[in-house]
Amino acid sequence: MRRRLLAPLLVVLVLAGCTARPAAEPAPALAGGASTLPGPVPADLALRPAPGTAPAAPAFTGGLTDGTPLTAALLWADRPVVFTFFSSWCTTCVDRQDALSDLARRHRDRVVFVGVAGADQADELQDYLRAHRVEYPVVVDEQQTIWRSYAVREPPAVVLVAKGGALLRGWPGGLDAAALEQRLGELVLAGSG
């Protein structure tokens, strides 16, 4: 009797094993999401003091590409921040992005780069970020409220904020990576320029 019951049970188990679906692979992390947030501040980070006359940068909280909230003031509390205002359809942004991505990697954790994407579709934004190896956080500013708070009318634009939140400089029309690196040395990184 046991053998008669055991045989059909084995057949069911074997068939179940053959038809079982493999576990779904986890979706890749979205470019510009939480996985791109900076690590700890390097112990040897030397910064120039911000001029006492510099105005305060507009503070904001926005959602990264994966929905993770990012509070700008928490980033600039302990290191300088470069905001790059861009859109995936902006040809000047496209032309400059690879070099900006390289610059951000060279200064990783010393200076935080944060992209602020406006007027973009989510899939086009992801294609852009992956194609240009953007490995820093990107805030999605669909209504362009952050753009307006920084007086950005169209992409590209770059804004440099000192540790502590002083608004050091903005460049409507953007800035190429070599010029931005020079400005980082002049304005925020001690011993760099």
HSE-CB at 82 with a 13 A cutoff on CA atoms is 31
Averaged pLDDT for residues 129-155: 96
Averaged pLDDT for residues 88-92: 96
**pLDDT band per the 50, 70, 90 thresholds, residue 27:** low
What are 27's two structure tokens?
Answer: 């979706």
What are 161's two structure tokens?
Answer: 């904020």
Lowest pLDDT segment from 48-52, 64-68, 112-116, 176-180: 48-52
154 exposure class (CB count in 10 Å sphere: 0-12, 13-18, 19+): middle
Domain ranges, ordered by start, for the chain: 34-187
CATH 3.40.30.10 fits 34-187, yes or no: yes
Phi, psi of 159 (to 5 degrees): -130, 135
Three-state helix/strand/coil letters over 162-187 = CCCCEEEEEEECCCCHHHHHHHHHHH
Are the beta carbons of 187 and 169 closer than 8 angstroms? yes
**pLDDT band per the 50, 70, 90 thresholds, residue 13:** very low
User: Which has more pLDDT, 174 or 25?
Assistant: 174
